[in-house]
């Protein structure tokens, strides 16, 4: 999907695209279609083509991944002592970090227990790229394992995980559109296994591209490559 804009300069054309489409500059790719220099009897002009992944594709991909429910869903009642202990463990851990928090159960499904943290310090608890939240989740799962629970604990706050998943999927579609258009591969930033699975799943049915993981260790990179399927 693309749309063309014309202005006196590339920067002005991009500004027109931003204003009309209601997007940020980083949400789309720009291709300069034509550029006419200013002359004695003519005005200079630049025509750009803005490439945007279709919104319905993004929505369908988000629906396919295992996202946590919205933070405004009603909290569920505690079903057993182990759930109460896990909630108390997470609350105590955050309090010892020096922050106030209330922990509630947001969902139970597919052998997973979702806990949502309500705190005025949510941004700190999330941390850079969600690493503080991942650390809290890791410790919660270690504790759940000591209680012999066979489900995974998912920790979230301010609906961060769903927003992060949507961001990753949008990035995947944006780069996949670039690869399909230019027939050049694109290497994405290092990601953890769950984030990489999101990208592979989102682009599984994206015509014209294929994906593979590269690197060693936990944080590998996904490369998007052109394919012969269109």
Does residue 48 belong to any structural domain of this protein?
Answer: yes
The pLDDT of residue 74 is: 67
The pLDDT of residue 186 is: 92
- Three-class SS of the chain: CEEEEEECCHHHHHHHHHHHHCCCHHHCEEEEEEEECCCCCCCCEEEEEEECCCHHHHHHHHHHCCCCCCCCCCCECCCCHHHHHHHHHHHHHHHHCCCCCEEEEEEEECCEEEEEEECCCHHHHHCHHHHHHHHHHHHHHHHHHHCCCCCEEEEECCCHHHHHHHHHHHHHHHHHHHHHHHCCCEECCCECHHHHHHHHHHCCCCCCEEEEEECCCCCEEEEEEECCCC
Strands of the 2-7 sheet, one edge to the other = 2-7, 45-51, 29-36
Q: Are residues 88 and 143 in the same domain?
A: yes
Does residue 225 belong to any structural domain of this protein?
Answer: yes
Q: Are residues 170 and 223 in the same domain?
A: yes
CATH code of the domain in which 174 resides: 3.30.1370.50
The pLDDT of residue 64 is: 45
CB 168 within 8 A of CB 199: yes
Pairing of strands 112-118, 152-156: parallel
The pLDDT of residue 136 is: 94
Q: Which residue range forms the structural domain that includes residue 24?
A: 1-52
Q: What is the pLDDT along the chain (230 residues), one digit of tens a residue?
A: 567 778 888 788 888 877 776 666 655 566 677 777 665 555 668 887 776 554 444 434 444 444 444 444 567 888 889 999 999 999 999 999 999 999 999 999 888 999 999 999 999 999 887 889 999 999 999 999 999 888 899 999 988 988 888 889 999 999 999 999 999 999 999 888 888 999 999 999 899 999 999 988 878 899 999 987 55
CATH code of the domain in which 96 resides: 3.30.300.20
Q: Are residues 154 and 90 in the same domain?
A: yes
Does residue 72 belong to any structural domain of this protein?
Answer: no
Q: Are residues 143 and 175 in the same domain?
A: no
Where is the domain boundary, 102, 126, 158?
A: 158
């Amino acid at each position: 999907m693309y749309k063309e804009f014309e202005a006196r300069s590339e920067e002005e054309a991009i500004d027109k695209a931003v204003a009309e489409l209601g997007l940020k500059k980083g949400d789309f790719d720009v291709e300069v279609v034509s550029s006419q220099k200013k002359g004695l009897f003519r005005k200079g002009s630049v025509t750009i083509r803005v490439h945007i992944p279709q919104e319905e594709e993004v929505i369908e991909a988000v629906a396919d991944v295992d996202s946590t429910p919205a933070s405004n869903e009603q909290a569920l009642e505690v079903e057993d002592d182990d759930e109460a202990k896990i909630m108390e463990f997470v609350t105590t851990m955050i309090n010892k970090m020096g922050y106030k928090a209330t922990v509630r159960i947001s969902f139970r499904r597919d052998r997973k227990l979702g806990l949502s943290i309500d705190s005025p310090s949510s941004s700190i608890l999330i941390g850079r790229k969600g690493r503080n939240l991942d650390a809290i989740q890791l410790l919660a799962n270690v504790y759940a394992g000591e209680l012999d629970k066979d489900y995974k604990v998912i920790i979230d706050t301010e609906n961060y995980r769903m927003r992060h998943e949507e961001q990753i999927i949008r990035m995947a579609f944006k780069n996949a559109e670039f690869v399909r258009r230019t027939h050049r591969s694109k290497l994405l930033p290092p990601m953890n296994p769950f984030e990489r699975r999101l990208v592979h799943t989102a682009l599984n049915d994206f015509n014209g591209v294929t994906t593979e993981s590269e690197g060693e260790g936990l944080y590998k990179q996904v490369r998007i490559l052109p394919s012969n399927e269109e």
